[in-house]
Amino acid sequence: MKMMNNMRWQRRFGWLLSCNLLVWIAGHHLAHAQLEQLQNQVQEGTGVPTEVRAIYQRGIDYLANAQRPDGSWVSGNSHGDEVSGIAGLAVMAFLSTGEDPNFGRYARNIRTAIRFIIQKQNGSTGYYGSNMYVHGFAMLALAEAYGAVDDEMIWTGETEAANRRTIGQSLELAVKLAVTAQEKNPSKGWRYSPNDNSADTSVVGAVLMGLLAARNAGIDVPDKAIDGALEYMKSMTSTADGMVGYSGLGGLGGSDARTAIACLVFSIGKRTEWAERTATRQYLIDKLDSGSGAGWIEYDRYYKAQALFQADYESWQKWNQTTIQTLRAAQQADGQIGNSTHGPAYSTSMALLALALNYRFLPIYER
């Protein structure tokens, strides 16, 4: 397994070295204008703005200091039943800068958080948490860690045998749970419980991104699962104005966050030719200066960053500059950013991930 993980690391991140070499060679053979065009196409994320690095460093240090001994973070939920999802978001924040996840400064934080997520997983069903949001975010995080984090090091010093499995084994169980739940769902989507017979676009987006990331990492995900979820998102999207309904037959109007979710999954799911993707893209561009949705600002910002980056790079650049200034002003002295109803670890992780496209290291952020 260790050798397989090393091979996956090389396959998934080796393109960075290849792109750098390509640009170096081109500098000796192409005119300046051609070289500049090539560099724009590569868009590796080099030259991360100093302000982003400063925000990220303080934010990551906050998450490292706030992590509990068992690898989790405090949840704003009174029952503490969303901790696996929050741990997943924090893992992605740690991984997103490209620091060595096995021997770097935050290797212990990453390992203990992944161990916590796996140990919280139901070994029989594959379920990560109390709802499918949690399941989707935890699945996404482990998919991004798969092949990069050494499985053996995750369990160093751990004597408990219960729920001890590799990242790949955990992901396979998680994918099976999501696919089985979808097969029983008339809408071919998901809602809060794996046993729900209804679906909503917000939950479908979270689970679908987890499945897409797992497939990118090499986990077997049936095409019909991806296709079914994308068709559901398509059915909820208006081609007239790019608004995306919540549940049922498009009820409850639209929101920036839901439109961003739809635009993102259409992009990552390779449905860029769909009229629905075109409509959601235009909606986000038209509302670029309207700010983030009230009440769920972290959630809105998280998805809008990824959707704009995938759908319209120039618009993302403009939005990114505004977001950098907003988050710099909002960050507290200890590095915390915001304090949503889900807790400060959630809001800080989501804020950092809204800036993670500046690094472009995680595979799910590739264009």
The string of pLDDT tens digits covering residues 157-216 is 777 667 789 999 999 999 999 999 999 999 999 999 999 999 999 999 999 999 999 999
Between 360 and 39, the higher pLDDT residue: 360
**Residue 3, SS3?**
helix
CATH code of 45-359, in short, is 1.50.10.20
**Residue 244, SS3?**
strand
Alpha-carbon gap, residue 27 to 140, rounded angstroms: 37
**Residue 360, SS3?**
coil
Quote the DSSP letter at residue 292.
P
Between 27 and 123, the higher pLDDT residue: 123
Structure tokens at 354: 């809204």
> How many residues can be counted in the chain?
367
Structure tokens at 114: 């992944």
Name residue 146's amino acid.
Y
**C-alpha angle 95/340/317, rounded to 5°?**
55
**Residue 247, SS3?**
strand
Map out the domains of the chain as residue ranges. 45-359
**pLDDT band at residue 78 under the 50/70/90 scheme:** very low
236-282 pLDDT per residue, tens:
999 999 999 998 755 556 789 999 999 999 999 999 999 999 999 99
Specify the pLDDT at position 366: 84
**Residue 229, SS3?**
helix
Alpha-carbon gap, residue 72 to 192, rounded angstroms: 22
Name residue 124's amino acid.
S
What is the maximum alpha-carbon separation in the chain? Answer: 62
Specify the pLDDT at position 156: 85
Helix axis angle, 167-184 to 201-216, nearest 10°: 140
The pTM for the full model equals: 0.86
